[in-house]
Amino acid sequence: MNNLSVGRGARQTISIFFSLLFIFLPAAQRTLRAQTPVADTQLVPPAASAPAQSDFRLERIPVAGGAELLTIFGKLPGVAAAERMSQHASASDMEEADQDVPLVTILRDTLGDDVRENDRLRYVWMHTYTRPRAEQRAAAAVPFFYNRVGNKGATKRVPPPVVDLAATGRDVWQKLFWTATQAILLDSYGFMLKATTRTYRRNVDDYRKAHIISALAILSLYEAQTGEQPVFSPGELQEIQARLMLTEKTFGGIVDDIYLQRVYQQQTSQWRDTRGHNWELLRQQAEATGLIFEPLELPDGSTTHALLWVARSDLDANRGRKFKGRFLNIASPWDDRRLRAWQGYTETRYYDADNRVVAADTPGAHAVELLPLALYGLDHPKIPILLVDFRNAFNPKEREMSKRVLEDVARNVLAVSRFDLPYLLGRTVYDYVTDKRGMDINQPSRLRAYSQLKLLLSLDASLDPELRHEVSQRLEHVSLNPLENGRAAEVRLARAQYEALLEYAQRPDGLPAQLDRDRRAEMVPLKHTRTEQTLFRLANTLSFGLYTHREQAAPNEAATALDTTRQLAYHRHFLREVARTSVRVEVQWNIADVRRSLAFIAEHGARADGQTAAAVARIFAHTQDEETQRLCLNGLYRINNETAKDALARIYGDEAQDERWRTLSAEYLRRAAREDQRITPATAKIIAEMGGQ
């Protein structure tokens, strides 16, 4: 009995400790602490910028120690307009609102040279993403509390990155660890602890997701508006976006890099498909129900949202008319007293006899006064998602909350496990039916729709300021997340956090020191076995990211060691891509590039892995270019692993193969044996049976 109570007490203590960690760690865990400070740094003026026509520009700021900060700035005419409308805005506020806002910064570790192959992208900072205030954190832990609790004030702290592109796997393991801790430990201590920790984690995750979505949207807009940028290598911007997209999937952080282009392509196609689909669904529903549809575009022309209006003159004409609101999720306008007495925002447009919108002075044009009914996001699967109901502010929030409440009750109150069979079956059926019928309760899509709407309101200058103000006000009320900040506050935070980041980049013990620490952590695979690396990773996870193993090395030493490693990774990635996509390499790829990578692999083959060997073997089989084939065989000889030697043995044993290559393979195998390279017993036997020297 006594033992039991001691055990329980210990568990309680541990649980409380974990709860506190839950609440106060997430932002901190991304702020990596220095183990050793590093050299001087200096802030250099911006070096490059995007074409003047764009709403975006890019600033490139070198960081001492061999890196650069790439920051995308945007013009936010929507914010400027909102400031002008605000009665409290001072002249300086308005002047500031007209200036570009830093939106996203990416750290590229260049090792201080111009060699693209050894560059590595690291942190992505979304400048509106910040560490919450204590009150915000406390509110975020309150179960069934679905509201904002004000904004974060001024800050001078460096913003937490939304993702570390070079270590996306870390998030996966930590998430799994937290999930296990929650299920095994925290959930066993009653409703309060369980509900508090789960609610908090959920809000923290959603807050981060919302900012990743915004980052994605900004990168996509930047890419669309500025086209090919010399700052990013071909496909690099897309790979960054792919990594951000993968953060939505549980195991997305450990998906092989080779899939990134595919992820980007499929996901963007999927989003465009959904948008087009919802655009047309909403337009047709508007037509069928007698309403007016108006798409809203982001600066790149993509339509992410749409407004529905009703003509005031139709209210009388359609009195008593049936209204099918299945896909619209709003009340019938035809018998709505609120609309008949509408005093809110209206617009007047002019139509010709064929129902075309025309200029007011067009002969035969008639004026129609339009009342706004609702605003929808078009990125939700299957149906447009209601974001603003101009007659019923609670309607979108109710929809927003519905699934969340259901889940919270099931998981936190009823303590139903996701794997309880009746719950699983019920949930599967419920999900299928809601999905099939197209109900707008998909939470990730809702987050995306809100994030994009905030962006649209900031970027789009064409919206009438009064309408923008109405939409913004309603939007602020819908948010469920206490960690969220208002739109104007986010702009202030972005400026302040960017300043803080620049200051951090200037400090010798700031970003340059962090860069050094990251490089020394990157050196771990060069010095340790796989088992040791796994143990280090485990230690990192168990310490909630506070401990990271790093090698001891001077900055120059680290850069030199990483130069080859990163170039090898670059060429490995390239050759794997070539191997994966080609049935005749020279038809599809620039053969000189392929040869260059093969030559590099051959030169540094000792450190290449089995996947590289497999790619080289496949390239050999899929080219008729002699020089390339020769380089492949040389590469397979130089790569010191069993896969490479097995491949050589297969070429040697293939009687359909050209005799030259069989002879050369045999020669390489013999040499490998003499050099005591890693060879499987089966291949060793083949070598032994070859004879000759």
- Site of interaction with another protein (CB under 8 A): 228, 234-235, 249-252, 255-256, 259, 262-263, 265-266, 268-269, 272-273, 276-277, 279-281, 283-284, 286-288, 290, 292-295, 354-356, 382, 433, 436-438, 581-584, 587-590, 593, 622
Minimal distance, residue 448 CB to another protein, in Å: 18
- Identify which of residues 276 and 426 has a Cβ nearer to another protein in the complex: 276
Q: Which two tokens stand for residue 255?
A: 């998906």
Nearer to another protein, 250 or 543 (CB): 250
Query: With contact defined as beta carbons under 8 Å apart, do 61 and 502 qualify?
Result: yes
Question: Which residue in 60, 111, 210 sits closest to 569, CA to CA?
Answer: 111
Under a CB-based contact definition with an 8 Å cutoff, are residues 136 and 483 in contact? Answer: yes
| Closer residue to another protein (CB): 519 or 572 | 572
CA 669 – CA 599 distance, rounded (Å): 19
**149-152 contacts, C-beta under 8 A, 24 or more apart:** 149/482, 151/485, 151/486, 151/489, 152/485, 152/489, 152/493
CA atoms within a 13 Å half-sphere pointing along the CA-CB vector of 370: 21
C-alpha–C-alpha distance, residues 305 and 385, integer Å = 9
- 3-state class of 120 per DSSP? strand
Contacts for 98 with CB less than 8 Å, ≥ 6 apart: 80
Smallest separation (angstroms) from another protein to the CB of 75? 25
164 secondary structure, DSSP code: E
Min. distance of Cβ 633 from another protein in angstroms? 21
Task: Determine the Cα–Cα distance for residues 631 and 642; give it in Å rounded to an integer.
Answer: 18
> What's the one-letter identity of residue 484?
E
**Least Å distance between CB 296 and another protein?**
11
Integer angstrom CA distances of residue 59 from 71, 107, 663: 5, 12, 55
Cα dist. 101→59, 77, 84, 108, 474 in Å? Answer: 12, 10, 17, 21, 24
Q: How far apart are CA 164 and CA 559, in angstroms?
A: 19
Comparing CB distances to another protein, the nearer of 142 and 368 is 368
As measured in angstroms, the least distance from the Cβ of 211 to another protein is 23
**Closest of 216, 226, 154, 164 to residue 494, by C-alpha:** 154
* 177 vs 293 by CB, closer to another protein: 293
Nearer CB in complex with another protein: 179/265: 265
Nearest distance from C-beta of residue 432 to another protein, angstroms: 9
> Residue 464 or 593: which CB sits closer to another protein?
593
Nearest distance from C-beta of residue 616 to another protein, angstroms: 17
Distances (CA, A) of 425 to 421, 433, 438, 497, 640: 6, 12, 19, 46, 51
Query: Of 437 and 671, which CB lies nearer to another protein in the complex structure?
Result: 437
Structure tokens at 160: 């937490």
DSSP E strands, 14-90: 56-63, 67-74
CB of 214 to another protein, least distance (A): 21
DSSP 259: G
- Choose between 304 and 472: whose C-beta lies nearer to another protein: 304
C-alpha to C-alpha distance for 198 and 441, rounded to whole angstroms:
20
**CB of residue 293 to another protein, shortest distance in Å:** 5
Q: What are the φ/ψ torsions at residue 123 (nearest 5 degrees)? A: -90, 145
Residue 197 or 612: the one with the smaller Cβ distance to another protein is: 612
Q: Tell me how far, at minimum, the Cβ of 266 lies from another protein, in Å.
A: 8
Q: How far is the CB of 613 from another protein (least distance, A)?
A: 14
Considering the complex, what minimum distance in angstroms separates the CB of residue 534 from another protein?
A: 16
- Burial of 591 (C-beta count, 10 Å sphere; 0-12/13-18/19+): middle
| Closer by beta carbon to another protein, 354 or else 361 | 354
- Closer to another protein by CB, 64 or 310: give it: 310
